[in-house]
A and B are shown apart, each in its own frame.
Chain A
């Protein structure tokens, strides 16, 4: 590439030209180097302390300016925190008083029923009721404990709410507690508003005892002997009777 004549002229003349300085000298340069050397010898702790002071001042300034709780020159008033789980549980615990009354009514009705009928249907009913509370207290398994569960039910439901509030459980466990409380309250509400229906159900259960086939057959035979039922009510056909007679003869 051919270089421009102007470019050549200036580069050739100025490339190696040495200007004469008016004031720049080695003495000035030496003084500047000495000054820079002294600056470098500043102790390390000086920088650390300067950084600490800077950070503290920045922290103080921002902490003062952006305090969201308390404005300047005012007293702080700390209000107790409202737990959302407690808010949800409180109205659902209230019906327990009505549930308590319903349970008492149910117990009194059960006591009336227990005398003429067997204990088994009564147990079945208890199991059904206590089944609602099995989620809250799954460890209770014996029948006495179940009875206690029913007796203590109104007292324990506030404990569940207090437990959720006191232990500051996370949202998921709190929701489980709420769901459990809802199931309990629904069951109690059913008992409260439909006690007659509960008694009917109880009665239905009591007249259908679960017995072994042999005992049922004996009962049917007894009723046949007493003349309460006919032979057709036994549910035996001809072939069954023949097989029973032949089996008995073979055993003899």
Chain B
């Protein structure tokens, strides 16, 4: 006769982690650590370094879990911790966010998906190929959903710098995607 394993909800897992239950902690880690690793890899272009940051972030999640009030999703709270940890690593690199004139980038950077067939792994590699400043601002704006004012305060830069970095990142990404799209189209024709 098979043993019936009760299905633990997110609330049960959080409560177990708050009580220091190691099984709950393991369940949380196993459930979210891959997704959180993707978050780290979006900001850090070295995968090993990204895993180190993931472990530090998860450690902080377990030690600070009593601060989670239960309002909002636990995954969103955990994601903010991981993003903050990744940003701390980015700041340690002492990157310089150069102001780039953004005039004309939106027109030149027009992107048409067409018959483009890409997967997440490829897009992640493309994102990691960007300079750190461009990559960080693009991540915060396009994927995390912060506005330029928030990004400026988080990174200690001006809103204009944030906007220019975003435009330049979009331009580089669209150029690379268009290049790949043309190559794929040529391949299909041949």
A: number of interface residues (CB 8 Å): 26
Contact residue among A9, A17, A23, A24 (Cβ-Cβ distance under 8 Å from B35): A17
Chain B residues 89-142 with CB under 8 Å of chain A are: 109, 111-113, 118-121, 123-124, 127, 138, 141-142
| B142 A17 Cβ-Cβ under 8 A | no
Chain A residues 1-31 with CB under 8 Å of chain B are: 4-7, 9-11, 13-24, 26, 28-30
Interface residue B41 (Cβ < 8 Å from any Cβ of A) = yes
Interface residue B174 (Cβ < 8 Å from any Cβ of A) = yes
B79 CB to nearest chain A CB (Å): 10
Q: Which of B4-12, B47-55, B80-88 contacts A (4 or more CB under 8 A)?
A: B47-55
Interface residue B77 (Cβ < 8 Å from any Cβ of A) = no
Chain A residue at smallest Cβ distance from B51:
A24
Chain A residues, Cβ within 8 Å of B22: 30, 33
Chain B residue at smallest Cβ distance from A18:
B34
Interface residue A50 (Cβ < 8 Å from any Cβ of B) = no
Chain A residues, Cβ within 8 Å of B62: 33
A252 CB to nearest chain B CB (Å): 121
Interface residue A44 (Cβ < 8 Å from any Cβ of B) = no
Give the contact-size bracket for chain B. Answer: 35 or more
Interface residue B59 (Cβ < 8 Å from any Cβ of A) = yes
Task: Tell me what chain B mostly uses at the interface: helix, strand, loop, or mixed.
Answer: helix
Contact A24-B119, Cβ < 8 Å, known A6-B173, A11-B143, A29-B58: no
Interface residue A242 (Cβ < 8 Å from any Cβ of B) = no
Interface residue A36 (Cβ < 8 Å from any Cβ of B) = yes
Interface residue B33 (Cβ < 8 Å from any Cβ of A) = yes
**In the complex the two chains form, what is the Cα distance from A21 to B120 in whole Å?**
15
| B120 A13 Cβ-Cβ under 8 A | yes
Q: Which of B23-31, B66-74, B151-159 contacts A (4 or more CB under 8 A)?
A: B23-31
Contact residue among B47, B51, B59, B123 (Cβ-Cβ distance under 8 Å from A9): B123
Contact A23-B38, Cβ < 8 Å, known A7-B141, A10-B123, A28-B55: no
| B113 A22 Cβ-Cβ under 8 A | no
| B26 A10 Cβ-Cβ under 8 A | no
| B170 A4 Cβ-Cβ under 8 A | yes
**In the complex the two chains form, what is the Cα distance from A9 to B127 in whole Å?**
12
| A17 B54 Cβ-Cβ under 8 A | no
Interface residue B13 (Cβ < 8 Å from any Cβ of A) = no
Contact residue among B41, B42, B121, B142 (Cβ-Cβ distance under 8 Å from A4): B142
| B38 A19 Cβ-Cβ under 8 A | yes
Chain B residue at smallest Cβ distance from A23:
B51
| A21 B33 Cβ-Cβ under 8 A | yes
Contact A17-B51, Cβ < 8 Å, known A5-B111, A24-B37: no
| B127 A10 Cβ-Cβ under 8 A | yes
B90 CB to nearest chain A CB (Å): 17
Q: 9 A–B contact pairs at CB < 8 A?
A: A5-B112, A10-B127, A17-B120, A19-B41, A20-B34, A21-B33, A24-B51, A26-B30, A33-B62
Residues of A within 8 A of B (CB): 4-7, 9-11, 13-24, 26, 28-30, 32-33, 36
A sample of 15 more A-B contacts (CB under 8 A), given A6-B109, A22-B48, is A5-B111, A5-B112, A6-B174, A11-B142, A11-B143, A14-B38, A18-B38, A19-B34, A20-B34, A21-B37, A22-B51, A24-B51, A28-B55, A30-B22, A32-B55
